[in-house]
Structure 1
Amino acid sequence: MNYAAPAYGLWVLVIVNSAIFIVFAFSFFKPHTARDWRSFDAFSAFIVALFTEMCGFPLTIYLLSGRLQSGYPGIDWLYHDAGHLLEMLFGWTTNPHFGPFHIFSFLFVGAGFMLISAAWRVLYAAQRSGTIVTVGPYARIRHPQYVDFVFVLFGFLLQWPTLLTLAMFPILVWMYIRLARREERGAEAEFGAVWRRYAAEVPAFVPRLTRVENA
């Protein structure tokens, strides 16, 4: 498989693409607390690492080049589209941007940003009124903002997996879980029985098929 020209070393694109997604995420998430900023900073680091390999320097391709070239001799791994590793490894022979993993990646990324937007609108209103947010996405799970970020990160992994982002992904998931648990302790201390009743009815990360009804 051959491509017209390599497309690495484009550091301006690394900066521009990273900035676009980081600013886009910031416009939805709008971090205020220190915990919010830690979550957002971790997401930003993932995005920078992703676009560095996508447009700057293909570290993963270089590190795996020997194994990839011997296993898939028909692919020129130094050309840009070959960075869509899942399409290449599963034998997608046409434009990888129309491959199944790339399409699924857009579904995850798009759904993640839409849910972040929906969650932020109701969260911001609850923060201003000093109440627990229990409507919108928060009616189904207690931490949609973190689940949404995981959706976006997973979507990018499907589109352009790298060794660095694959290593970062479980660390970020673990970090978001810790932040969520810490927020829950603060919410329980502030709202007491109201929070405990909400937590008993609504799961943390995975929505139930049916809601728990109060006795």
Structure 2
Amino acid sequence: MNGDVPAYGLWLLAAVNAGVFILFAFSFFKPTTARDWRSLGAFSAFVVALFAEMYGFPLTLYLLAGWVGSNFPALDPLSHDAGHLWPALFGWSMDPHWSPFHLLSFVFIGGGFMLIAAAWRVLHDAQSKGSLATSGPYARLRHPQYAGFALIMIGFFLQWPTLVTGLMLPVLLVMYWRLAKSEEREVEAAYGDRYRHYARAVPAFLPRPASLLHSSGG
């Protein structure tokens, strides 16, 4: 961004973008339990931190301004495009919106939202019948909704890396892992051997390549 158009200090824009993505997550995830709300709350904190730097105050760029200016003299360290740090780190002189990192971020973010939505439908149907969710995304992952949140956060980090979200990301991933383990203990207590058999057959967060090939083949 150049001219008289400000690159940062756009706090209303930051609030609107954060609100939109949090609302999207809420509508896709539809939290009902305290665990659900903790999951959504952690995701919301990540999103707020992200957009606060993207449009409000560029803390990461401010702290790295000297390094960026000395290593990439053609790049304005406090311009909006500089916030897409990955192309600069790789020395690519290109529109950052067309970089592989930015394009891949859309795949992660879109895929994460679709995974959360698809998993919620299966889980809601199973819960209404008092049964164990094992179809749809649950046929390939035991925790597709947590995996979806992880995909979205990783996608945002690929698009706009910051020091704050970089520190938050591993903490939140561990938090989701702990929530998933807590959830598993409750489900195992409710369904016993049926859940243990399911857990042995289906991985927790990363689908087996064979299951993806089977899905694409028919």
- State the TM-score, normalized to the length of structure 1: 0.94
Aligned AA (2:161)? P
Contact 1:6 1:78 in 2 (8 A): no
CA shift in 2, pair 1:63/1:57, >3 Å? same
| CA distance in 1 between partners of 2:45 and 2:72 (Å) | 31
| CA distance in 1 between partners of 2:206 and 2:85 (Å) | 29
- State the TM-score, normalized to the length of structure 2: 0.93
| CA distance in 2 between partners of 1:121 and 1:108 (Å) | 20
1:65: which partner in 2?
65
1:191: which partner in 2?
191
| CA distance in 2 between partners of 1:3 and 1:158 (Å) | 24
* Cα deviation digits, residues 27-79 of structure 1 (max 9, x gap): 00011111111010000000000000000000000111111111111110111
Following superposition of structure 1 onto structure 2, how do residues 1-215 of structure 1 map, counting pairs within 5 Å?
3-4=2-3, 5-210=5-210
What is the total number of aligned residue pairs between the two structures?
210
Aligned AA (1:160)? W
| CA distance in 1 between partners of 2:156 and 2:209 (Å) | 27
Deviation at 1:6, TM superposition (A): 3.7
| CA distance in 2 between partners of 1:130 and 1:55 (Å) | 45
CA shift in 2, pair 1:209/1:76, >3 Å? closer
Q: Indicate the SS of the match to 2:60.
A: helix
| CA distance in 1 between partners of 2:12 and 2:2 (Å) | 22
Deviation at 1:104, TM superposition (A): 0.6
Aligned AA (2:118)? A
| CA distance in 1 between partners of 2:192 and 2:157 (Å) | 39
Q: Indicate the SS of the match to 2:76.
A: coil
Contact 2:87 2:94 in 1 (8 A): no
Could you list the runs of 5+ residues in structure 2 that have no partner in the other structure? 212-218
Q: Indicate the SS of the match to 1:107.
A: helix
| CA distance in 1 between partners of 2:151 and 2:193 (Å) | 31
Identity of aligned residues (%): 60
2:215: which partner in 1?
none
| CA distance in 1 between partners of 2:207 and 2:106 (Å) | 22
Could you list the runs of 5+ residues in structure 1 that have no partner in the other structure? none
Aligned AA (1:168)? M
Aligned AA (2:204)? A
Q: Indicate the SS of the match to 1:93.
A: coil
